[in-house]
Chain A
Amino acid sequence: MKNSIYLLVLACFFASCKTDASVEDCTNDSFNRGALLTNWADNIIIPSYDLYVSELSVVESASEDFIGNPDTVNLEVLRTAWMEAYNTWQNVSIYEIGQAEISRFRDYTNTYPLEVSVVEANISSGNYNLELSTNIEAQGLPALDYLVNGLGVTDAEIVAKYVSDGNATNYKKYLFDVVARLKSMATSVQEDWKGSYRGIFISNDCSSSTASLDKLTNDMIFNLEKVTRAGKIGIPIDFFGQPPVIAPEKVEALYKQNVSKELLIASIESSQDLFNGKHLNSETEGESLKSYLNELQIEAGGKLLSIVINDRYDAAIAQAETLDDDFYMGIQSDRAKYKITRDRIHSIIEVLKTNMISALGIKADYNDSDGD
């Protein structure tokens, strides 16, 4: 008798579990996350990598021309190619997922300020391994900045390093190696996306800390917080310093100097474009965090949340437009202006990190907001 009661309870229990499991609770809503991921992959991420890799190919051939024939004309061509790639990098920087995450693509591509002493030591010894993390601060786009903009005051002085300096051969080799590493890392990420990773990314369309949407949304916020807000403004202006000790040598593209604003705005715009699902180099928009929020009709303060978020992106960009082209000089003359821009960017992060991710059931996965 007792056993039959037990069996009965057991049966009920199983039955209840069964109904539990039959409900597909992969996400909490009816939005098609797969369509969003497809749009991101096919119309934003993969085209961005294609563009970035093609621009690095231009850098590569320009650097080969320069190494073969170091003169001021070839230097200028290389410099222009570098700047194109640096601009596109601001977009690619966001997608630290898949092979990019595995290879530490962002850290090896754009960690600044550059450790000039390490670069010079590497060059003079000729013995270095750019794949070691101890060389993170001696390579990537900042190293290239130094090699094409920072070796001398005039272009002639820079060219001289590659022609008449005692270490000229090693300078050429270092330039070659830095470019080669940039290119090979980018190519391997691009190839991975075009190979198996696109499918893996799109099919991982559930809701959990390891799902594609959760991870890439976290990556997007992380990039805006750590790379855009802290790296480009917060750290150079010593936002948390009491009293602040500004560090102009920590600005991005230190040796080129007059492009800091351009890179900052490219970074914010890329973030906004990803939010809106805007196809690369087109006005078309596809499924995105914006359409996701709109479908769920999420509001904040009487407005659609997606509008609030876009307003904040626009405000940050408008404020950034008021900054100097050259942050190195700019933050020394008017720190307050930069602080306001930093706060505008922070206000986007706030609404993304609280309102948006809670509406979409995404758990913030990194817990490190220090740095600026």
Chain B
Amino acid sequence: MNKLFKFIVTRSIPVKNILGVFYLWLYLVGNVVFAQTELNDIVLKVKSTESGEAVSSAQIFLSSGEELGTTDKNGEIFINGLSEGKKYFVVFSFDYNILEIESIISESTKEISFQLTPLAEVLTEVELDNHKKEIFNLKRLRPVEGTAIYAGKKTEVILVDQIAGNLATNNARQVMAQVVGLNIFDAGDGGLQLSVGGRGLDPNRTANFNTRQNGYDISADVLGYPESYYTPANEGLEEIQVIRGAASLQYGTQFGGLINFKLKRPVKHKEIELVSRNTVGSFGLYTNFTSLSGTIGKFSYYTYYNYKRGDGYRANSNFDSHNVFAHLGYQFNKKTKISFESTYLEYLAKQSGGLSDVQFLEDPRQSNRTRNWFAVNWNLLALKLEHKLTSKTDFSLNVFGLNASRKAVGFVANYNFSQPNPFLDVDEQDNEGNFLHERDLLVGQFRNWGAEARLLSHYDINDRESVFLIGTKIYSANNTSQQGPGSKGTDADFSFYSDHYPDYPNQSNFTYPNFNTAFFGENIFNISNSFSVTPGFRFEYIKTISEGEYLDNNQGVFVPDNRTFNRNIFLLGVGASFKPDNYFELYGNVSQNYRSVTFSDIRVTSPSFSVAEDIKDEKGYTSDVGVRGRIGKLVSYDASVFGLLYQGKIGTNFVDRKGWVRDNIGDAFIYGIESLFDFNLRNIFWEDYNYFKSNVFVNSAFTNSSYIKSEFNGVEGKKVEFVPLVNLKTGANIGYKNVMAGIQYTYLSQQFTDVTNAPYDPNNATTVEGAIPAYDILDLSFSYVYRKIRLETGVTNVLNNSYFTRRATGYPGPGIITSDPRGYYFTFEFKI
């Protein structure tokens, strides 16, 4: 193994050969796996106790969380490959009580029957909720789902329809309240951009997570520009899955891990279902979300349109957004399904710019940028093929493509000054009111496509089931970025005026052809009935190219700057899980991570800058050790400690005669305790009251950090940016019949925003640096359901605290981006 590793690392293997080896491997493994004999064929039958009729669309699970399937119209599921012995089955159907039953499987078992008791009347919202939660509790410990392995990893799943909060604005503080340790920018832009981080990783545009929708990438460029400009409408989501750093092997290699937005699936047994939601809120917010969903024979669809507009809390801000999503699925047969998805997003936002501390304290609502605009256009296509090769082997193939752009025009700073400063520089006008300065224009175009294939198979080693996963990914991008002078006007004019203002100092034009291929594998080895070990690997070949030119202001000429980085990366990881019973698991993992150099890391736009010849990707490790499970039906919990070692952080340093050099300049260590406890008060105190729901959750993260090495002066020993010591979100949800109420309290202690740990300074009028003071937010939410109508309302930031979560170093600032004060929203939903 060691030799192989060395070979891969030290030799640059042509891609073709790698793929060849991979396919050979697939072939060999496939032969072994598919040659296995399957033990027993069993029919599971579900009937109603009352009528004796078959119950269709009932889901049957093993208590381990493994889903055996959904019953057909005859109320049957055919399965094979179930091992012998005592099994616990859980049967769930919406109009019936949940059935939990034990059954012994022997060689001769051919059929198992389940009898469901119907519920007396139409379920209330609270009962539905309780039902879903039970299923959720079952599912969330599953080690395998579809063609993904979760064993031994820290995974978190949010059921979106259980969220109490403002979905219309994608309010991440509420939507992701039960994800531990998240650091969230509360931007007040109607949720157009999601910015979440955690564990000391910059939240900006969620760039430190591998961000996906239904399993495929949605960021601008997975490696070179991992920013997410598009976030699916939360009203159309079913689940949000988060896997921490150990996701590096199967998904993106990012330190943060994976965020996967799972959109709602087409409704079954209904040809058409329409859901329409209209929301009005403070600061001119209006949104409409309308979805259509249905299944017609083998064909199914889910589609939505989402419109958002708002004026924003601050002066000089507003937004207008259109988002369309369509999913079309075709189930060829029980084994094969194909689906096609298309996403379109277009928005235009007026941005009010950033503030200094002095300005923020004076009036957080003020703005001194009156003509800054930001526009995004996003077109995403995806085709997914899911195929069951055998009852034990699943295959999936995702092919996806992106054609997108982001454009920003605005006054940033005044280049007449020797040191332009975003806070001090006024956007000057002459006596007639005409603006004196041309605006800065930045246009990025993203064109890329990718394909990811996965094969997951169950097989036996010494009569114990093992699971292995293997996959490959190809990703090719061709992106461009151009910066130059925009107009002197005030409108959202995104054309370059280079002919008018040839001396504009910030001018550059780059293309980024990028190629990446990866293959990866993981295997769950069940050492005993309760203990499993899951080792995995990922190999990546990355070619990052930057080609272009920038204006050298001293010489007045464009200087070419072309760079190519080729590398092979091999990552290893291992997870372990000890699960003595179904309600307790001790898990642990350690994985290597890396962050590829981004385009902005390797591109030069000024003659006084250079990039170190040997600049490397940022590398490191993440590790989690934790316990999760539930204590009876009273408390469910997930508590873990983590460590994250971040090596070779990229920064710019002054090196003697060479001037400023961008290089790997430091190592950081971040560690902490993260936990989520959910207390089901109903089960504790009022177990017999089905109409009642009451639970309390406590989500807390205590994180500490330190730069352990740095080539910057004055940085070693300092704390890492974006790490509040305490990150607490806690709340309660109470429901009675069709009325529900939620209360949530969020507290983050102070966090630094720069490597030198510049403190918070209320007198600061000149710099972007400074700590973000501690802040706390209280949110309230209510919902009421009456037949096909649903009403939601709430108050965000009830305490009306004036706070901020972000000091932007560039767009949409630079400077403090004010978060919203107290706000209200009201949503009206009807379903046909």
Contacts and interface: CB of A to CB of B under 8 A. Distances in A.
Interface of A: 2, 6, 9-10, 13-14, 16-17, 20, 25, 28, 101-102, 104, 106-107, 111, 127, 129, 132-134, 136, 200, 204, 206-211, 214, 222, 226, 240, 350, 353-354, 357-358, 360-364, 366-371
B33 interface: no
A129 B414 CA distance: 17
Nearest to B416: A133
Contacts of B656: 350, 354
Contacts of A211: 758
Nearest to B760: A210
Contacts of B417: 104, 107, 133, 136
A352 to B, nearest CB: 11
Nearest to B725: A17
Nearest to B761: A210
A350 B656 CA distance: 6
B399 to A, nearest CB: 42
B608 A209 contact: no
Given A210-B758, A350-B657, A361 B714 contact: yes
A356 to B, nearest CB: 10
B652 interface: yes
17 contacts: A9-B641, A17-B702, A102-B424, A133-B414, A133-B436, A134-B416, A204-B761, A207-B756, A210-B769, A210-B770, A357-B713, A361-B713, A366-B419, A367-B660, A369-B659, A369-B660, A370-B606
Nearest to B711: A358
A210 B712 contact: no
A9 B428 CA distance: 57
A210 B627 contact: no
B342 interface: no
B764 A210 contact: yes
A133 B415 CA distance: 9
B705 to A, nearest CB: 11
A204 to B, nearest CB: 7
B654 A28 contact: no
Given A133-B416, A209-B767, A354-B656, A240 B554 contact: yes
B670 interface: no
Q: Report, nearest first, the 8 A-B pairs whose CB atoms are least far apart.
A: A361-B714, A133-B416, A210-B758, A208-B758, A209-B756, A208-B756, A370-B608, A358-B713
Nearest to B584: A2
Given A16-B704, A133-B436, A363-B756, 9 more contacts: A17-B702, A28-B717, A132-B430, A207-B756, A210-B764, A210-B767, A222-B419, A361-B713, A369-B654
Contacts of B418: 106-107, 111, 226
A56 B606 CA distance: 38
Contact of A104 (B424, B431, B554, B673): B424
Contacts of B715: 363
A209 B769 CA distance: 8
A370 B627 CA distance: 56
A363 B436 contact: no
Given A101-B424, A204-B761, A367 B714 contact: no
Given A204-B761, A206-B759, A210-B761, A370 B554 contact: yes
Contacts of A20: 704
Contact of A362 (B714, B757, B758): B714
A117 to B, nearest CB: 16
Given A362-B714, A369-B608, A102 B702 contact: no
Contacts of A366: 419
Contacts, number: 124
Interface residues of B, number: 53
A209 B758 contact: yes
A316 to B, nearest CB: 17
B238 interface: no
Interface in B730-774: 754-759, 761, 763-767, 769-770
B766 A28 contact: no
A293 to B, nearest CB: 14
B713 A133 contact: no
Interface of B: 414, 416-419, 421, 424-425, 428, 430-431, 436, 553-554, 606-609, 627, 639, 641, 652, 654-657, 659-660, 672-673, 675, 702, 704, 712-715, 717, 725, 754-759, 761, 763-767, 769-770
Contacts of B627: 2
Contacts of B424: 101-102, 104
A214 B769 CA distance: 13
Nearest to B423: A102
Nearest to B660: A367
Contact of A6 (B414, B654, B675, B767): B675
A129 B725 contact: no
Given A28-B714, A206-B759, A132 B657 contact: no
A107 B414 CA distance: 12
A207 B759 CA distance: 9
Nearest to B712: A363
B279 to A, nearest CB: 39
B702 A10 contact: yes
A325 B657 CA distance: 30
A14 B672 CA distance: 11
A6 B756 contact: no
A208 B607 contact: no
Q: Which among B428, B554, B656, B770 has the highest number of chain A CB atoms within 10 Å?
A: B554
Contact of B759 (A127, A210, A369): A210
B411 to A, nearest CB: 12
Contacts of A354: 654-656
Given A20-B704, A104-B424, A363-B756, A200 B654 contact: no
Contacts of A361: 713-714
Nearest to B672: A13
A85 B101 CA distance: 95
A206 B757 CA distance: 10
A6 B607 contact: no
Contacts of B713: 357-358, 360-364
Contacts of B428: 132-134
Nearest to A238: B554
Contacts of A9: 641, 673
A104 B766 CA distance: 11
Contacts of B759: 206, 208, 210
A244 to B, nearest CB: 12
Nearest to B586: A2
A192 to B, nearest CB: 12
Residue of A28, A129, A363 with most partner-chain B CB within 10 A:
A363
B675 A13 contact: no
Contact of A368 (B606, B657, B758): B606
B78 to A, nearest CB: 40
B629 to A, nearest CB: 9
Nearest to A222: B419
A226 B607 CA distance: 15
Given A20-B704, A136-B417, A367-B652, A102 B766 contact: yes
Contacts of A367: 608-609, 652, 654, 660
A127 B627 CA distance: 75
Contacts of B414: 133
A129 B756 contact: no
A10 B659 contact: no
A366 B769 CA distance: 13
- With a 10 A CB-CB cut-off, give which of B416, B660, B754, B759 has the most chain A CB atoms: B416
Nearest to B415: A133
Contacts of A209: 754, 756, 758, 767, 769
Nearest to B767: A210
Nearest to A132: B428
Nearest to B552: A370
A34 to B, nearest CB: 15
Contacts of A222: 419
Given A9-B641, A17-B725, A353 B436 contact: no
B755 A363 contact: yes
A233 to B, nearest CB: 15
A204 B418 CA distance: 25
